[in-house]
A and B are shown apart, each in its own frame.
Chain A
């Protein structure tokens, strides 16, 4: 598999503020890649460098095999971008904006446009100044999803959408993946990334601090286990990787580093297990784990 996006050591400063301090990002062709980080961590700056709207101060970036700054025009015909803050010309209708953007990408699909308008319940005859934030977001999404391109760059695309539309958006992204498109989804909504993405990069202060498939990343964190045993447990506290152990008679609650699960389970079954629930770490915990390091 080749990389649709490959960036290493990207550096970008605005005056004295350093937005990116050596960012590495690799997105494989055909995957949905989550780009996670809080506001101001450098997600949008990275996307704008990948689009050739900003020029990196240092590092290299390759997008669809080309140089995002030098080959921007030809690369842009092969991708669609949904900005985080969708600004539209107030006196054009939503339908006109969708057509204009798709014509400029040179790859519009009228059938799909019609279908998407229905799915997102968007009225294309309204002037864009009359749209709510969510509806402006839908205009940009429909324009991007209706064009036949290889790569979708989505910057917090569900920020203004209601839960129904968010579900519709997820269904659309899954379809796109099935059709073989690559998606880079920047977001700070963890459940969305968890539901959609094959792999995730977590960005903090302009650097990617962790990157990999969700199951890879889960190894770095703890699984929480609640069990009812046949008798009082013994030796659990001696096992490596066990945290927050709480024993009340036969009931046990504990957290365990995900790569030390084997030993804990062996110990539990040796006592005899009546019932057991285990919860894998959520992305939320993963995220907090990385951000807790800061303090």
Chain B
């Protein structure tokens, strides 16, 4: 175990910004969640009705979990944090565990460190400590935040413990999957698939039963601590046991393998490129393929869940505030249409996030010197960049189509067209990212800043009356509200023109600048 502390300090030094930002984001989510619930359901009767309403809608129970005490303010406030929030905690701990074990090994840095005075298990232990430590800090900070927001002290502590429990379980899954594959991407994928599987397990267990299915899932176990509704601490001990078993498994596997190998066999690939990998477009598709397909699967599920909730939305129509909120977000009468329209616009934002991330790949390929190899052949800069952008644009369209398809399947109406109206706005963000890449390659992340700004405009707009001029900045403001609203082609055309204009300007600048 020699050297563990040095490695932990190295990891914390590297993540000194990332970890606090994540924790801050979680705190912000919990604070807004409590404040929002208090505002929406001002009295005990409305809260009880809302809680009972959620418990009556199977798709909501599947998505978030069950409210075990319908009279509790804390249980209602934290329902989203209890479900999706816990999943995000799991993602954070998983990524941290893999990042400081397998990713270091893959990059060859562990070899450098391993040749120093460092024990065989030191890197694994350090990754585990960083991940578990982060979840502990997150749990404590969250519990204190909830207490400060005025929720019951015991329940707040139990809620913190529920997040810690999920966090340490996924730290265990992270270090375990890090033993299996040679690459960190593979280890992350295994962990994410595991997360999806256990989330699904508890979704089925909570909404349809049998209930013991939820007990097989670390996420389900975390919810069974039942913060603000019984505070069952013994379930936390069960989770600790699960984490311990996973961790011991990781140590056992680690002792049986060599440095820089995985336990899953590395398959031999193609000795020759297929006819498809013929040019920059084929390569771009190959590079984006995995992420497009992964995101599309997520969008299909998201759409299906939204369509299904929308069909049962009547049960939630408990207070005039809720109704007003949805109608403001959806911008029309009829709560079902309003809900779907609101969810589709969130889908549009997420599709834009995919678009920004995928477009940033241009910068990634340039910085990693991959682009240099291509641009030293007969491929022009514009052709190279366009081949990525074509894939990104088709990718955005595919995600929205998947969401529309999912919603159509559960809602029964054809909603793909409604989902696709979000495309021009998402492409404006792609265009902005291209412009940043062309003009200010070091500030390629400007696309993200724009997305966050538009997100705030979109989320705050219905709640706080914003200046029209500010509202109009966001491309999402100009989209027709579908389904239910009137389809107008003019804004869609204009947004497309703006998107193409930004992209063209960015490409023109890219042609004229030095490669980094």
Contact = CB atoms under 8 A, between A and B. Distances in A.
A binds B: yes
Interface of A: 48, 51, 53-55, 72-74, 76-77, 79-81, 83, 85-93, 95-101, 103-106, 124-127, 129-130, 140
B378 A106 contact: yes
Given A76-B379, A87-B372, 4 more contacts: A53-B372, A76-B378, A103-B278, A126-B266
Contact of A83 (B183, B373, B380): B373
B461 interface: no
B217 to A, nearest CB: 31
Contacts of B373: 81, 83, 86-88, 101, 140
6 contacts: A55-B514, A85-B369, A87-B369, A87-B370, A104-B374, A125-B268
Contact of B286 (A73, A92, A104): A92
Contacts of B271: 93, 95, 124-125
B370 A103 contact: no
A95 B268 CA distance: 11
B283 interface: yes
A72 B372 contact: no
A129 B106 contact: yes
Interface residues of B, number: 35
Contact of A126 (B269, B380, B514): B269
A125 B514 contact: no
Contacts of B269: 92-93, 95-96, 125-127
Max chain A C-beta neighbours (<10 A), residue from B182, B377, B512: B377
Nearest to B106: A129
B12 interface: no
Interface in B75-126: 106
**Which are the 8 A-B pairs with shortest beta-carbon distances?**
A99-B273, A93-B269, A104-B377, A87-B369, A81-B376, A125-B268, A77-B378, A96-B273
Nearest to A78: B378
B515 A53 contact: yes
A83 B273 contact: no
B368 interface: yes
Contacts, number: 109
B164 to A, nearest CB: 34
Nearest to B375: A53
What is the predominant secondary structure among interface residues of chain A facing chain B?
mixed
Contacts of B369: 83, 85, 87
Contacts of A106: 378
A106 B377 CA distance: 9
Max chain A C-beta neighbours (<10 A), residue from B266, B273, B282: B273
A45 to B, nearest CB: 10
Interface string B250-273: 000000000000000010111111
A93 B369 CA distance: 17
Interface in B351-381: 368-370, 372-380
B294 interface: no
B515 A100 contact: no
B182 A104 contact: no
Contacts of B514: 53-55
B370 A76 contact: no
Contacts of B377: 76-77, 101, 104-105
Nearest to A79: B376
B3 interface: no
Given A89-B287, A125-B271, A51 B376 contact: yes
A141 to B, nearest CB: 13
